[in-house]
């Protein structure tokens, strides 16, 4: 664990961590509900396996991005269910990650190849001719 309260030191977030934080922005959720929310938020393009999710949750708890909430399972739910919530530090980390992603998207939108098909060669920066010609 990084012993810090500087959000930038935990960046960049993994895509899984990013989606988990987004799922927890305005609600407390248990593990299965987090998986469902991520799948819903991404229109099915991101599916998190159970092992991957709980590994990410363990790291995020350790880094104080999320915490267990006091919410108790409903009477008809499994009593072992644990609910998670975003911490204030997790909110700051998510905001910092969003600034990076927003900037990257602005840069990408300014590129002629954005949204069209292109070859990897289109991404190369032309070499400077140093021969003096």
pTM for the predicted model, two decimal places: 0.78
In a domain, 6, yes or no: no
Q: What is the DSSP letter of 94?
A: H
Which regions of the chain does DSSP assign to beta strands (E)?
A: 29-30, 66-68, 83-86
Number of domains making up the chain = 1
pLDDT tens for the chain, 133 residues: list them.
Answer: 444 589 999 999 999 999 999 999 999 999 999 999 999 999 999 999 999 999 999 999 999 999 999 988 777 777 788 999 999 999 999 999 999 999 888 888 777 766 655 555 555 555 455 555 4
* HSE of 16, CA atoms in CB hemisphere, 13 A: 16
User: Using an 8 Å Cβ cutoff, are 97 and 18 in contact?
Assistant: yes
Structural domain contains residue 78: yes
- 72 belongs to a structural domain: yes
Q: Is residue 118 part of a domain?
A: no
Where in the sequence is the domain holding 32, given as residue range(s)?
11-101
Do 73 and 81 meet the contact criterion of CB atoms below 8 Å apart? yes
Q: Output the domain CATH number for residue 80.
A: 1.10.10.10
């Amino acid at each position: 664990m990084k012993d810090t309260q500087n959000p930038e030191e935990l960046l960049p977030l993994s895509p899984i961590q990013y989606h988990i934080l987004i799922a927890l922005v305005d609600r407390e959720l248990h593990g299965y509900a987090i998986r469902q929310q991520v799948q819903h938020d991404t229109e099915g393009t991101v599916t998190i396996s159970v092992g991957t999710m709980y590994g990410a949750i363990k790291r995020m708890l350790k880094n104080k991005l999320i915490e267990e909430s006091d919410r108790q399972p409903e009477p008809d739910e499994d009593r072992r269910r644990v609910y998670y919530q975003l911490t204030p530090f997790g909110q700051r980390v998510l905001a910092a990650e969003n600034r990076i992603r927003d900037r990257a998207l602005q840069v990408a939108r300014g590129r002629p190849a954005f949204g069209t098909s292109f070859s990897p060669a289109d991404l190369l920066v032309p070499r400077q001719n140093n021969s003096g010609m």
